[in-house]
Every structure is written in structure tokens, then in C-alpha cells.
Amino acid sequence: MGRYDRNMNMLSREENERLRNFKVCVVGCGGLGGYVIEMLGRLGIGYITAVDMDVFEETNLNRQILSNVNVIGKYKAMEAKERMKLVNPDVFINPVVEKFDIENGERILKGHDLAVDALDNIETRFVLQDICEKLNIPLVHGAIGGWFGQVTTIFPGDRTLDVLYKQKVKKGIEKELGNPSFTPALVASIQVSEVLKVLLNRGEVLRKEVLYIDIYSQEYHKIKL
Amino acid sequence: MIKVKLFATLREGRQKEVVFDYFDGITGKYIIDMLDIKEDDVAIYLINGIDGKINDKLKDGDVVSIFPPVGGG
């Protein structure tokens, strides 16, 4: 249990042990998803499904923790599994090399305790919200764009994305700004802290509120929705 | 008077806060048009900190907050 010594006493021994029985589905293995998987694995979440149909490209190297020069052209979901073998072999990674959509979403998500929205487009985020609601699975949403990001935790019935993206636009400010190395790491960290609290049912989560992050001005707004 | 708070990229080329004179019938739609903000760039729209709609009529003294959409991963 030495691996998890530094998780104590923030978590109790019993809580640490419970973590290995949870199944979390991370949808998207890019900037956010890579860090989310890394941190969930180091925490000791026992079963992580990693969903992404893409392969690594050179343009991913500036920010995606699962990428390196040796894996260009390889599937992101498969690389999540390879990396976790080195980071924490106790964790089972279930790679799903598919584009998450309305057809396969239910099959992919079924049986998980929680889903993490680490997608890169707004349209698919709504599909994920719908399927999570149908399967009664909580969803931790994160999104980034340049110096900015947001996190919220959505329980079935909340439909928080309907408020966050009223205009149902396909892309946000990231289309102009791109994404640097540090924003995904920050937003992913906050997402993982939300995952942990939801799974262990303690602390306060960002339910029906969004944390809107502006690291350009260092402003952090918690907005009730 | 209506105070309008802008966030993130909406501040580019504009101030963080803009004040509009109140008139009967003023809405968020009028304000975003005057500020040359596209409707697609309005993701979170709050009136006095509460979720609102851009076509809602505003009251004198209202504070409007506008955040653009963030969607990348």
C-alpha cells in the first residue's frame, strides 16, 4: 500500500481501498482526458475506460500528456493503456478506439459509476449528457480554450450544459485561441477532484454551478446556474 | 443605469465593465448589438447573477454578466 501512503490522511484507508472498485469512463483522451486518466490512475481508480478514435499528431505535443515523439500516429486510447502500465499497473485501462456518438454511447458508458467529459467539441458533449442522464450516471464536465476553462458536475436531471451552451454553438473560443500546456492540466485537476468527491460522496461539488476560470486575469468565478 | 460585466475574450477591444443608460425596454440583445458581440459568443448570460435570456427586459440598476463559450478539450 506504499504507493498510496501520500493519499492518506486526506483519504482514509477504507476510502483508498474503495477507489479500486470504481469504474470511470473518460470520454476524450486529448489535452484534458490525458491528464484526467493520469490522475485517476495515480489515485488508484481501479477501472478506467479511455475513449478516443484519434491518433496522436505533432500538434498534440504542446499539451497532451499521453503524447511524445515516439507515439505520433498511434491511437490515443491505446497509449493511455501503455502509459498506465508504467504509472500504475494495478489500474485496468479499457481502451475504446471509437468516436463517441448516439449509436455507441450507451454501450460504452453502461456499467460505469461516473463519466468524465473531456471532449473537444460541444455537439458531442450534449450527446454525452443525454446518455449519462438515461443511464443515471453523474458527469464531470470540463472545457478549455486558451487562457480560459470551465468545470461543472452534472447529475442526472440537472442538464447543466443546456445553460452553459445556450446557443448550441459547435466550437467555443478555443477555435481562435488554441490550447497551451497549462490550461488542460489545471482544468483536468479540478475535474479529477470533482470525480473523487462524487465517488466518495464527500466535500462540496460544483453542482448546478460552474467554475469559470480565467488565468489571463487570474479570476475564478463560481457561478450558480 | 445597467452595468455590463464582460469576461474572457469578450474583453478584447472592450472594457471589463461597460455602463448603459437605462431606458424602458432595454434588453441584453440591444446591449450585445451595441457592443458588437455576436449572439454565438454569448454562452453564459446572467442578470444580477441569475441565469437569464438576452431578450428579457432589464430593470434600472440591473447588472448583466456575459461569458463566451469554452468548448475545447
pLDDT over threshold 90, residue A171: no
Contact B70 A223 (CB under 8 A): no
pLDDT over threshold 90, residue A65: yes
Distance CA A168, CA B55 (A): 17
- All three cell numbers of A149, joined, read 476553462
**Arithmetic mean of pLDDT, A81-108:** 98
**Arithmetic mean of pLDDT, A133-154:** 98
CA A12 → CA A37, A46, A119, A194, A203, distances in Å?
A: 22, 17, 32, 17, 14
- Which residues of chain A lie closer than 8 angstroms to B51, CB-CB? 163, 225
What is the spatial order of strands in the sheet that A23-27 belongs to? A92-96, A47-51, A23-27, A114-117, A139-145, A148-154, A209-214, A219-224
> B 10-69 residues with CB below 8 A of A?
39-46, 49-51, 65, 67-69
**Arithmetic mean of pLDDT, A22-47:** 98
Q: Buried b / exposed e across A98-112, counting CB within 10 Å, b at 16+? A: eebeeeebeebbeeb
**Arithmetic mean of pLDDT, A2-23:** 91
Q: Looking at residue A45, what is its pLDDT?
A: 98
**All domains of chain B in start order, with CATH:** 2-67 (3.10.20.30)
Asked if residue A108 lies in contact with residue A135, where contact means CB atoms within 8 angstroms, the answer is no
Phi, psi of A42, deg, nearest 5: -70, -30
**If we measure between CA atoms, which residue out of A162, A166, A163, A183 comes closest to residue A174?**
A183
Domain that holds residue A198: 2-224
**Arithmetic mean of pLDDT, A151-169:** 92
Which residues are registered as beta bridge partners of A213?
A: A149, A220
Q: ipTM of this model?
A: 0.91
Q: Looking at residue A1, what is its pLDDT?
A: 61
Nearest CB among B7, B8, B40 relative to A167 is that of B40
A155 in reach of chain B (CB within 8 A): no
Distance CA A75, CA A98 (A): 10
What is the spatial order of strands in the sheet that B17-20 belongs to? B17-20, B2-6, B63-67, B44-47, B50-51
- Which residues of chain A lie closer than 8 angstroms to B46, CB-CB? 223
Asked if residue A38 lies in contact with residue A18, where contact means CB atoms within 8 angstroms, the answer is no
Domain count, chain A: 1
Instruction: Assign A8 a pLDDT band (cuts: 50, 70, 90).
Output: confident
**Arithmetic mean of pLDDT, A136-163:** 97
Q: What is the pTM of this model?
A: 0.95
Return the percentage of chain A with pLDDT > 90, whole number. Answer: 89
Query: Of the given ranges (A4-8, A85-89, A137-141), which has the lowest mean pLDDT?
Result: A4-8
What distance in Å separates residue A142's CA from the closest CA in chain B?
A: 8
A144 in reach of chain B (CB within 8 A): yes
Output the domain CATH number for residue A211: 3.40.50.720
Contact B70 A121 (CB under 8 A): no
pLDDT in tens, B23-66: 999 999 999 999 999 999 999 999 999 999 999 999 999 999 99
pLDDT over threshold 80, residue A168: no
How high is the mean pLDDT of chain B? 96
